[in-house]
Amino acid sequence: MQNPDIARLFDEVADLLEIQDANPFRVRAYRNAARTIRDYPEPLADLVHEGTKPLTEIPGIGDDLAEKITEIVTTGELSLHKQLAKKLPAGLLDLLRIPGLGPKRVKLLHKKLKVKSAADLAKALDAGKVQKLKGFGPKMEEKLRAGLGQAQVTERRMLLNEAETQADATVAYLEAGGGIDRIAVAGSYRRRRETIGDLDILVTADASAAVMDRFTQYAEVAEIISKGDTRATVKLRGGLQVDLRAVEPAAYGAALQYFTGSKAHNVELRKIAQEQGYKLNEYGLFKGTRRIAGRTEEEIYAKLGLDWMPPELREARGEIALAREHHLPHLVELRDIRGDLQMHTAATDGKATIDEMAHAARELGYEYIAITDHSKRVTMARGLDPKRLRAQWRALDEWNGASEGFTILKSIELDILESGKLDLPDDVLAEADYVVATVHYGLNQTEKELTRRLVGAAEHPLVDAIGHPTGRLLGKREPYPLDFEALTQACVDTGCLLELNGHPERMDLPDTLAAAARRHGARFVLSTDSHQPGNLSFMKYAVDLARRAGLEAGDILNTRPLAEFSKALKRARP
């Protein structure tokens, strides 16, 4: 069992407990454990099997949780999960797949309206009963109707970082068996979509049947859907479907291009091939019956008169025209990033000290970071008031005074209040090196109200960036209503930055909005929203977002050395 699989079971236990009115502290313990497990850098299954390190040495994992992790790893199941699930109607859990329906709302629907399934919910919606419940209005009703189909979907899309864990483990397992010349994971995973439906793996091998045998014997396989000498499809224990294809070396590039997609990108390529008298498919580029390209992607694109396009751009959003004109952007790379501009410590809701976060950042080669603990409005995270914040900043001044070659910026994640006012006074903000403003409360306000709040913050002279601008949580919360064009214009006019938050649950800004903002001349920062040192690696997902948006290093302020970064901030303007 991979860490995301264990974490998902713990999340579901927390959901089941919450629906059944269990002790909130018990619910929170499972949610915190799920987050810890999902972010833990080592496979817990290895720790269980090898016994090299007790699970209880992991922060937040006590004896009881350690026993349950061991049970999941050794049996693939959790008896507590089964016991809790039996107490509820089977269809009730399906409702959690509907965007906007968390455990609290599902519990309310079940308690007040006797809703036990998606069918029951549809009837309650049609009868007008749902919007009469507290917390449910016309907008929520609209969301529920749109999401009803999700309750019937047995396949769930997986967050990119979870899919990456599964992909890396599967590829490593296949490579360890030998006999593979080339291997790649294609599909939306290679295009770095924020969620992944399944994995497509391509290999070249002399004995493909032996590779398929090894693949279907993988310990993580729960079901073999199909198996042949050159192709096999399985479902892993965590529910992810994986398709493995063996292709001949002469067609490897064609297959990689075809199965990477997107579908819309491939349709445009086939049209270009047809216009030039060719036929393009997964086996190669053909002139009549003669294959004239296919060994690499590059030679296929070249034969079509196009530059090779990074997979992240292959969404039929104008990249083909740019490739024809040799004007593709030089996409930002992870190595371009010089600092991380949103992270939290144990002073609020993080799990590490300033020293621990700084040490981890230095190990990644960064020149600077911003410690952005929450402001006082975020009471659940023990947000900082002016007194505590200034005390933290004094400590940072001392830390920086003793440091060489690395700087911690005095910063804050500043809440934008429901009224539009900022959570801290200007005299405090003026002492900061960098301020990122965000929305955490009042998400049910109208588009006009939310836009006014965000635009007002962007226009404030002491707000340097707008963090996770749409407020979305993938698979859990839809973006709040927002006139994004108005926000973008305010950022362009004032020099305020837009954040691309690489936390896998956020991935915010979405790539399409970031691309639109770039066309208007907006500037960006990339961050991880880290709550522990291991989260700092999430920067690669922020870079994925930026690359899908077509951003270059010059579009992103934290690709610059500290002096240039600070000089380019809005607060540095005369």
- Ramachandran category for residue 569: left, alpha or beta (phi over 0 → left; psi -120 to 50 → alpha): beta
Please list the rounded mean pLDDT of every run of 10 residues in the chain (574 residues).
Answer: 87 90 90 87 87 85 92 90 87 78 86 86 87 80 76 70 94 96 97 96 96 95 95 91 97 98 96 97 96 97 98 97 97 98 95 95 97 93 94 96 95 97 96 97 93 97 97 87 96 98 95 96 97 94 98 98 96 80
Provide the H-helix boundaries in 326-433.
354-363, 386-401, 426-429
CATH number listed for the domain at residues 254-324? 3.30.210.10
pLDDT reported for residue 153: 56
Q: Which CATH architecture has domain 334-572?
A: Alpha-Beta Barrel (3.20)
Q: Could you tell me which CATH class the domain 3-152 is placed in?
A: mainly alpha
CATH number listed for the domain at residues 158-246? 3.30.460.10
Residue pair 253/299 in contact (Cβ under 8 Å)? The answer is yes
- Ramachandran category for residue 284: left, alpha or beta (phi over 0 → left; psi -120 to 50 → alpha): left
Global pTM exceeds 0.85: yes
The whole-angstrom distance between residue 89's C-alpha and the CA centroid of its chain comes to 31
The whole-angstrom distance between residue 391's C-alpha and the CA centroid of its chain comes to 33
Going from N- to C-terminal start, the domains of the chain cover 3-152, 158-246, 254-324, 334-572
Q: Which helix (H) or strand (E) holds 492?
A: helix 484-494
Residue pair 31/14 in contact (Cβ under 8 Å)? The answer is yes
